[in-house]
Structure 1
Amino acid sequence: EEKRYTGVLTANNYGRKSIGEARVEGGFLMANPIFEGDMLNLSGIIAQDSRMYYGRIDYDAPVNTSGTRVGLSYSAFRYDVDVEEIGFPGGETLGGNGYNIVLSASHPIQRSTRNNTTIIVDGRSSTTDENGSLALRDKNTINLLEVFVNYDHLYSNYAKTSIFGGLATNFKSIRDQLDRKSQKAKLTLDIRHYQPFLKNWFIIGRAQGAYSPDPLVDVERYRIGGQGSVRAFPSAELAGDKGGVLSLDIGINFIVSGKLVLTPKVFADAGKVYRYNEFGFASLKSSESLAGYGAGLSAVYAKNHIFDLEVVTPTTDRDSSDGRDTRFWLNYRGIF
């Protein structure tokens, strides 16, 4: 029987120091809240020292027997920057808030034991508002049409390839540095491959990137750094109009008991962003790179409690924005 209620609790240090490094995240998923097959998902994040709050509600439902679903989501956030952490006097202030509304539709175009392909079409409206004595941007809304394809292939040896990519556009070319409503085209691609070998060893390779023919508005820029990217640097350390990240993890699963599995691993990441300089921002470099390597240990207890530790160090000459040479990532995730 399908489990109707699922709760998720996460605690980690995945945030930036300037807006709360330590974070607590929670989620609640309800199956069939109104009728058979629909889903309601509530989630939120609270950051250290109340520097950042984030909340989201998602609802989607089937509309036919062919797998087509439609959904609506709303998310909102508020943040308060520690200005001294980013190099400004303590008397200055900087913060902001915003929200996103997404209307979505998805349809499976291939469903089998080995292959699954889904097309997703979204209409998204994103509003941001910066405030405080250091604020540089007025309130702004950008509306985008997004089309994505999600593909999964499972091999006979339990290897798996996942590909997710698509386009976000409103068919408008950016006019000048004050234009924050236009986006001609932003292409994104994320490829991940999991490959088991020998008895309990595995390799995970990942390539991700983004491309735009024009400069992107700040909230849409491609960012690298942090978990899911170049782990030797803080989250969203660099931003650009195009770029990419390559990651490789090698690990082994040790089955300690019927309830405990330990997974040590080593890994390396490298990424680069490129920026257009059409509007005279001479102080910005046309490209910047990040790279690093590290080791980690995951512990899974009773399938629903996951503990992760990663220790990472950079290999590039660039100093991280928070001044750390060695970085420790900690995460707990519990499913109830």
Structure 2
Amino acid sequence: MYTTLTRALLAVAALSTAAVAADIPDSGRLLRENTPPSVRPHKELPRIQKPVEQKELASSGVRVKVESFVFGGNTIFTSNELNVLMSKYIGKELTLVELNAAAATITAAYREKGYFLAQTIIPPQTIKTGTAITIQIIEGILDGVRLETKPQEIRTSKSLFQSYISRIPTGKPAEEGAITDMMMRINELPGVSSKILLEPGSSPGTTQGVLEVTEGKPYSLSIDTDNHGNYSTGYYRVGSSLELYSPLHRGDLFTLRAQTSFSGNSQSVQTGYIVPVSSSGTKVGLNYSFVTYQLGESFKSLDASGDAHNVSLYITQPVIRSRKLMLNLSASGEGKFLDDRVKIANSRNLRHIASGQLGINGVEIDAFMGGGSTSFSLNYSGGFNGIDDNATKTVDQSATGLHTDGGFNKLYMNIARNQNIYKNLTLYTGLTGQWAGNNLDSAEQFSLGGPSAVRAFPTSEASCDMGFIYTAEMRYLVDSLGKIPVSLQLSAFVDHGYAVLHDDPIAPDNTSNLTGAGFGLSWFDAESFIIRSSIAWRTTGTATGKSEMTQPTVYFQAVKKF
């Protein structure tokens, strides 16, 4: 009895001491850090065939004094609005070429409002001094949009594409914004790309659209390896991902992923399904994740292990789709079931978390100082953490406990800017942070260290309730080596992170400051192979855990697609 009790107390003491000395993973932390690599290629903005511009007529050299204008064919602008637009030409003597240039002012006004097929012409007329000059406006009426697919028989139901097409107003002047919106929503379907061609319509001045939809192969398979794991469960990992495009012919997507550490101390499985449910691009999805682990290395004697399950149901809604702005809303609900065991101490931390999330995210593209893009996201999460083991709950609710049992709420934000500097040189800056209203379970926390955070520190370093990470990174794209086209990105970066470890601390030392600087190299061949790597040195803060985790810290990831 004495021996068993002594061993248990020593184990708990050892675990507590280790927790101070190192960021020991548990099921919640491993579940949170288990992010699959991004391998899906970026899709280009939709292509729309532009109308053939009217050629200028040769000048006769004859000048005519403009007294007034008469407009025909206009419905978007009133004649009064067009007269105001053309007022600067009244009283001037213009040649025929100059009259056509003046009429182009109206075309520009239409194009500015998105009516990209609009044209203006000076029809045949007898032009004399003192008479009104007639300007005919062809507003570019869209007869309709016809669907063509490549191949002719495709996996995805054609009725789905027809529902997207039905959003385009017909019998009215064609709006580039509406057509772009439709095509971007279609291009977000997995394994699909589209473009639109414009043909003469049923009558002069009208246009028929032809939506060409192309489907690629029905699946994507990839294998990957990295060293993004944790010291206690294994740095080096290997994984494989499978995506099935439109398996139920509804523009749906099925995903399956499995990963294991080389040491065998950590394994995970993820699967998901998402399907569009409306012509506006609304999608509903279901995800499931499972993680299991066994602590190794210096913590092997504790015989500590655990597992986690996460089930989430979510809905996403694209709100804005344009060439300059994309905006999305999302809502989700999820349940986490976590179990951590220390066999030598006969202890168990069994808990469940139920929560709901609301989010908004988007990307804005602009021409500021040579052009760039700004991405942003804001997510609120609130829920309940229930500790199911009575002994663990008693400790949690004691005077020295963290009081994580009960309700919680947190706010997560991210904003990033890619700014063009010169040709292939860009500056990336990003700020990511989390605020919490109370002490959080490890599954809901935020970490400063890792390959997507402060890269000079190990994965999950400085896990906290509240914190932020700032990154500044200069990137240079090498697009050719001699005559060989490549896509190689070189970078130099600085990362800084600040953490408030617990919202309501039980120890005086409750903050962490981590800073690192280094270099990165990435090779992108989106259709075949991706390599990402970084090397970084710590300038502020020290890493907890294994003493041989010395500078510099090197991260790598390699993905091979089939």
User: Given that residues 247 and 270 in structure 1 are in contact (C-alpha distance below 8 angstroms), is that contact kept between their aligned partners in structure 2?
Assistant: yes
User: Given that residues 461 and 543 in structure 2 are in contact (C-alpha distance below 8 angstroms), is that contact kept between their aligned partners in structure 1?
Assistant: no
User: Given that residues 173 and 184 in structure 1 are in contact (C-alpha distance below 8 angstroms), is that contact kept between their aligned partners in structure 2?
Assistant: no
Report percent identity of matched pairs: 23
Q: Of the candidates 443, 446, 450, which is equivalent to residue 226 of structure 1?
A: 450
- Residue matched to 1:313: 537
Measure how far apart 1:299 and its partner are: 2.3
Aligned partners of 2:238, 2:385: CA distance in 1, in Å?
38
- Residue matched to 1:154: 365
- Residue matched to 1:79: 293
Aligned partners of 1:9, 1:219: CA distance in 2, in Å?
27
Deviations 1:251-270 (A, max 9, x none): 21112255422222111100
Measure how far apart 1:303 and its partner are: 4.9
Aligned partners of 2:385, 2:526: CA distance in 1, in Å?
51
User: Given that residues 130 and 137 in structure 1 are in contact (C-alpha distance below 8 angstroms), is that contact kept between their aligned partners in structure 2?
Assistant: yes
Q: 1:58 and 1:158, CA in 2 relative to 1: closer, same or farther beyond 3 A?
A: farther
- Residue matched to 1:101: 311
SS in 1 for 2:338: strand
Q: Superposed, which structure 2 residues align to 1:86-235 within 5 Å?
A: 88=299, 90-132=300-342, 133=344, 137-156=348-367, 159-170=372-383, 176=397, 177=401, 179-235=403-459
Aligned partners of 1:311, 1:18: CA distance in 2, in Å?
21
Measure how far apart 1:102 and its partner are: 0.1
Q: 1:318 and 1:131, CA in 2 relative to 1: closer, same or farther beyond 3 A?
A: same
SS in 2 for 1:315: strand
Aligned partners of 1:278, 1:14: CA distance in 2, in Å?
30
**Between Structure 1 and Structure 2, which shows a larger proportion of strand residues?**
1
- Amino acid aligned to 1:211: W
Q: Please say which of residues 113-122 and 165-174 is displaced more in the overlay.
A: 165-174
- Residue matched to 1:41: 255
Aligned partners of 2:376, 2:308: CA distance in 1, in Å?
30
How many residues are treated as equivalent by the alignment? 330
Measure how far apart 1:82 and its partner are: 1.2
Q: Superposed, which structure 2 residues align to 1:276-291 within 5 Å?
A: 276=502, 278=504, 281-282=506-507, 285-291=509-515
Q: 1:309 and 1:178, CA in 2 relative to 1: closer, same or farther beyond 3 A?
A: closer
Aligned partners of 1:97, 1:138: CA distance in 2, in Å?
11
Q: Of the candidates 245, 257, 265, which is equivalent to residue 31 of structure 1?
A: 245
- Amino acid aligned to 1:114: K
- Amino acid aligned to 1:300: F
Deviations 1:123-174 (A, max 9, x none): 0101110113367652110100111111111224552211111111027999
Deviations 1:164-211 (A, max 9, x none): 111110279999447545343100001111112211101111100000
Aligned partners of 2:262, 2:345: CA distance in 1, in Å?
22
Aligned partners of 1:270, 1:314: CA distance in 2, in Å?
10
Q: 1:108 and 1:261, CA in 2 relative to 1: closer, same or farther beyond 3 A?
A: closer
Measure how far apart 1:300 and its partner are: 2.9
- Amino acid aligned to 1:45: Q
Q: Please say which of residues 95-104 and 32-41 is displaced more in the overlay.
A: 32-41
Q: Please say which of residues 140-149 and 163-172 is displaced more in the overlay.
A: 163-172
Q: 1:264 and 1:40, CA in 2 relative to 1: closer, same or farther beyond 3 A?
A: same
Q: 1:168 and 1:134, CA in 2 relative to 1: closer, same or farther beyond 3 A?
A: farther
**Between Structure 1 and Structure 2, which shows a larger proportion of helix residues?**
2
Aligned partners of 1:172, 1:58: CA distance in 2, in Å?
24
Q: Please say which of residues 299-308 and 37-46 is displaced more in the overlay.
A: 299-308
Q: Do structure 1's residue 6 and structure 2's residue 6 form an aligned pair?
A: no
Aligned partners of 1:112, 1:335: CA distance in 2, in Å?
30
Aligned partners of 2:462, 2:293: CA distance in 1, in Å?
19
User: Given that residues 354 and 384 in structure 2 are in contact (C-alpha distance below 8 angstroms), is that contact kept between their aligned partners in structure 1?
Assistant: no
Q: Do structure 1's residue 268 and structure 2's residue 494 form an aligned pair?
A: yes
User: Given that residues 260 and 302 in structure 1 are in contact (C-alpha distance below 8 angstroms), is that contact kept between their aligned partners in structure 2?
Assistant: no
User: Given that residues 438 and 503 in structure 2 are in contact (C-alpha distance below 8 angstroms), is that contact kept between their aligned partners in structure 1?
Assistant: no
Q: Of the candidates 468, 478, 482, which is equivalent to residue 254 of structure 1?
A: 478
Aligned partners of 2:526, 2:314: CA distance in 1, in Å?
35
- Residue matched to 1:15: 229
Q: Of the candidates 53, 70, 78, which is equivalent to residue 284 of structure 2?
A: 70
- Residue matched to 1:327: 553
Measure how far apart 1:322 and its partner are: 2.9
Aligned partners of 1:268, 1:40: CA distance in 2, in Å?
37
SS in 1 for 2:546: coil
Measure how far apart 1:333 and its partner are: 1.7
- Amino acid aligned to 1:167: Y
User: Given that residues 353 and 385 in structure 2 are in contact (C-alpha distance below 8 angstroms), is that contact kept between their aligned partners in structure 1?
Assistant: no
Alignment gaps of 5+ in structure 2 = 1-213, 388-395
